[in-house]
Structures are given as structure tokens and as C-alpha cells.
Amino acid sequence: MTKQQNILIIGAGLCGSLLALRLGQRGYNVTVMEKRPDMRKVDISAGRSINLAFSDRGIKAMNLVGILDKVMPLCIPMKGRMLHDVEGNTVLAPYSGREDEYINSISRGGLNELLLTEAEKHDNVNIHFNKKCLSVDFEKTTALFKDYDTKKEFIEDADVIFATDGAGSALRKSYYLGKKFLFSFSQDWLSHGYKELSILPGENGSYKTFKNALHIWGREAFMLIALPNLDGSFTVTLFLSFDEGEYNFNNLTTKERVLEFFEKYFKDALELMPNLVDDFFENPTSPLGTVKCSPWHFKGNTLLMGDAAHAIVPFYGQGMNASFEDVTEFDKVLDEGHQDWETIFKVYEANRKKDTDAIADLAIDNFYEMKGHVNHPNFREKRNLEMAFEKEFPTEYSSKYSLVTFNEDIGYRDAMLRGRAQDKAILNMLADGTLNINDDLKSNLEKVTTETDNILEDDRIAGLKS
């Protein structure tokens, strides 16, 4: 396997442009085909969400390619969740008891543009825009494209093809339709969709509400969130059922009903959003789904990565971070020095799939947590206890959220197993009185750790038996 090999990457989104940069740094000949115009030259809406929560797994990938110093100026730290109740009262719930653990709001477009520019600095990386992949012949390792400039179709040949073309991947469709091997595929839609709205900047680019938090208006059946942008605005997202409940996307059809809904449930947000009605009717409503599939590769010819392999719902703020981590993990396998792509792809998938399955499940769990649980007294009591553990015993305890978000050196699956066991231990012991908030913190930590280990051991034995 020589570095002169021609690698084709389909899709220059967040994952594809990072992968192109990394493989370019490693010396491969990389061609990237992207269906949209070059976002650095044409003002296109960045796509599915204007800003994203960027955290430690993403940071690790930026460090791998040596551009973290260029990424950080695009970031706004969000120290915790700013919870807004129906009366408009707010409370800031930190993400961690450790001061240095927080997430960042980052512009999707800004980050994608930076990655494209960094990738193109390598002479061996060529990115072509307006080229839509129609299908992939994974046996011949060729892909069929439509060129939006010339209106012609053409076939691109490569030694190996990576598909980073997002949740609607053309390669994944070709695997499925090709029926040449056993390909498992599932797509599960949430009952809720989302719509992006906005809080515009205040005077001179000031922020109309607290800048350094991820704002949440959780209302059990639906929720609103807002993340800050560098220009003083916030991107607001409404998550709401398509067709259930008194208010849903299908029946919010008039200006009056939209205002009535916001007046009733999001009054303090509405006061910051004089532009609400225009945003509501101009912006699309989009579905949210989870994609799982396997295998990700066909022999040593083709590989799915990023959302193309594992699209998840956005409630853990990890889809992009996981897609970036794909590149970090793939790079590790390249370092192992395997002699052929098939082995590399096999090892990568065997290492990685359990973790992307886990973050998919965790993201669904967090949908329920953000909508409602964050408002419940027992959830808050648990969080307060965990904050205190993290503050007082920073090297001994990490909550599930911290394990997933700030512990980039453990996989999502291990974070999920330990995190869930801890949650169960604390909630059970709070419920039966074994754990008393007023007891000494150290003894509470010992009780939680012992009970967590017992649960993990029971789960392990149950897993062996099943």
C-alpha cells in the first residue's frame, strides 16, 4: 500500500474535510467531491444547524491535525445549561463541577470553511465543488457523479473511496440497493422534528441574554434551546412533535397560534424574538433520526464515515464530535501499520462501531433528560451531588455527562455503561434513603462508587448469561 494511492472522498462537510486534511498530511493523493458550491465563495446556508456544541472529542481531533489554535477563536464557551422555567425564572446548571470543563458554541460554516482551507494547503489534496455523487460501484471502486456546472455525468476511479456524505449517504444507498452482501440498516425517526429560529443581536452586537450558556426551555412534551453566536445573536431551535399534543408543527399554521404557543410556554424567550413569526414561517421544519448500519466497508474498497455511517439525534451535542473522533480513531489504526485497506477497515469498524452505537443511544436518552428530567427535583439533587463530587474529588468522579463530553480518552460505550450505572446507583439510593445529601461527601462518594461497581458487575454477569 503506497502513499501514491488515489483516495476519493465523497462529501466535504465536517468529517470529509477533516479526513481530507488528515490523509493529506499523511501524504496520500486525495480527491474530494462535494455536491454543494464552495461555501467560502458562495453564501449558502451552512445546512442543518447554524451552530453546534463542540467539545473535547472534537478538540482532540483538531489537535491531531494541529489547528486547534485556529479553531478556538471561533468558539464561545458555554459553562452550563441556563434553565428557563415557564415563569421566566432562570438557573444556571454547570456542566461539570470542574471549572475547566465546559462546551463551546461554534459556527458550522466557520469551522467547515477553516477545515477546507487547511486541507487545500496540501498540494496532494484537491477539492471539487458542485459534484453530486449519484451512486458508487463498490466492487469496481468507482463513483458516478453529476457535475452541476457542466450538467454532465462522469465516473471517478479511485483505489479507495471514503463516503462522508452525511445522513443520506449515496454509498450507503448503493450498499443497500446493490444487494451484493448482507448489509444491515436501520433508520429510526423521532416523533419530534426541529425548526431553527433566532434571537438577533442587541445594540452594537451585544447579547440580549446570558452569553456563556446553552439556554434550555424544557417543557416535557417539547423544548426550545439557544446557543450563542459570535455576532451577538443566538441560534434558537424548537423541538416539537409533528402531530401530537395541543401544539405541534402540523397545527401551528397561523401567526396567532404561534404567538399564543410562545406566549404560553416561552414568554421570556418571545420577548427577545420580535422576529419569531417571520423565522417560523420562513424556516423549514426538519425530521430527526438515528441511522445504524453494518458493515461500514466493502472489502478494502469503500468505507462509510461520520453521519453516513452513524447519524444520531442532536441531544448530546455529539454528532460532529463523534464524526471528528472517527478520524482520530481511523488515524490510530493507520498508525498500526496494517498492509492492506481491508484489514484497516475491519479493525477500525471492530473498534469503533460499539462506541457510535452507544452515543446514538445516549443521544436518545438525553432527549428525554433535556425536555423534562432537568426540571425534576430528584434529577437536580443527583446533579448537585455529582457537581459536589467533581468539585471536591476531581480525579475520582465523573458524571455520565462528563464521561461522554469531557473524557475523550474513554470510548462512548464505556462512558455509557459506567455513566448509566452511576445514575442508577444514585437515583436508587436517594429514593430508598441509603444516600443522604446531608451526610459527609466522602462517605457518599464511597457509597456511590461501591453501588456503581455492584451494578456494573451484575450487568456484566447478566451479559454473560444472555
What grid cell was written down for 402? 462528563
Q: Which stretch binds ligand FAD (CB under 6 A): 12-20, 89-97, 296-304, 335-343?
A: 12-20
**Nearest residue to 162 via CA among 260, 33, 272:** 33
Amino acid of residue 165: D
The rounded distance, in Å, linking the Cα atoms of 426 and 434 is: 9
* Neighbour count for residue 390 (Cβ, 10 Å): 23
Nearest to ligand FAD of 94, 394 (CB atom): 94
- Binding residues for ligand FAD, how many (CB under 6 A)? 33
**Residue among 7, 8, 9, 13 that touches ligand FAD (CB under 6 A):** 13
Q: Decide: is 419 part of the binding site for ligand FAD (CB under 6 A).
A: no
Q: Contact letters (x/-) for ligand FAD, 28-47, by CB under 6 A?
A: -----xxxx-----------
Residue 228 in contact with ligand FAD, rule: CB under 6 A: no
Which one of residues 83, 133, 304, 374 is an interface residue with ligand FAD (CB under 6 A)?
133
| CA dihedral sign, ordered 415, 421, 422, 423 | positive
Among 116, 170, 362, 448, binds ligand FAD (CB under 6 A): 170
Among residues 178, 144, 184, 179, the alpha carbon closest in space to that of 161 is found at 144
- Beta-bridged to residue 261, according to DSSP, are none
Residues 194, 234, 345, 412: which binds ligand FAD (CB under 6 A)?
194
Q: How far is the CB of 306 from ligand FAD (least distance, A)?
A: 2
Q: CA triplet 94, 96, 99: central angle to 5 degrees?
A: 90
Among 7, 16, 383, 444, contact with ligand FAD (rule: CB under 6 A): 16
User: 287-316 mask for ligand FAD (x: CB under 6 A)?
Assistant: -------------------xxx-----x--
Check whether the bond before 295 is cis (ω within 30° of 0).
yes
Under the criterion CB under 6 A, does residue 49 sit at the interface with ligand FAD? yes
Candidates 355, 241, 219; CA nearest to 287 is 241
> Is the CB of 96 or the CB of 323 nearer to ligand FAD?
323
H-type alpha helices, 266-314: 267-270, 276-282, 307-310
Q: Residue 50 in contact with residue 148, Cβ under 8 Å?
A: no
The correct pick among 7, 9, 10, 425 for binding ligand FAD (CB under 6 A) is: 10
What is the rounded distance in angstroms from the CA atom of residue 264 to the CA atom of residue 372?
A: 17
In the complex, what is the shortest distance from the CB of residue 3 to ligand FAD, in angstroms, rounded to a whole number?
Answer: 24
357 is an interface residue for ligand FAD by CB under 6 A: no
- Quote the least distance from Cβ 453 to ligand FAD, whole Å: 31
**CA-based torsion, 265, 266, 268, 274: positive or negative:** negative
Residue partners of 269: CB distance under 8 A and separation at least 6: 84, 199, 215, 217, 224, 226, 236, 262
| Position 240 contacts ligand FAD (CB under 6 A) | no
Minimum gap (Å) between residue 324 Cβ and ligand FAD: 8
**Interface positions with ligand FAD (CB under 6 A):** 10-16, 33-36, 48-49, 52-53, 132-133, 164-166, 170, 194, 237, 306-308, 314, 317-321, 323
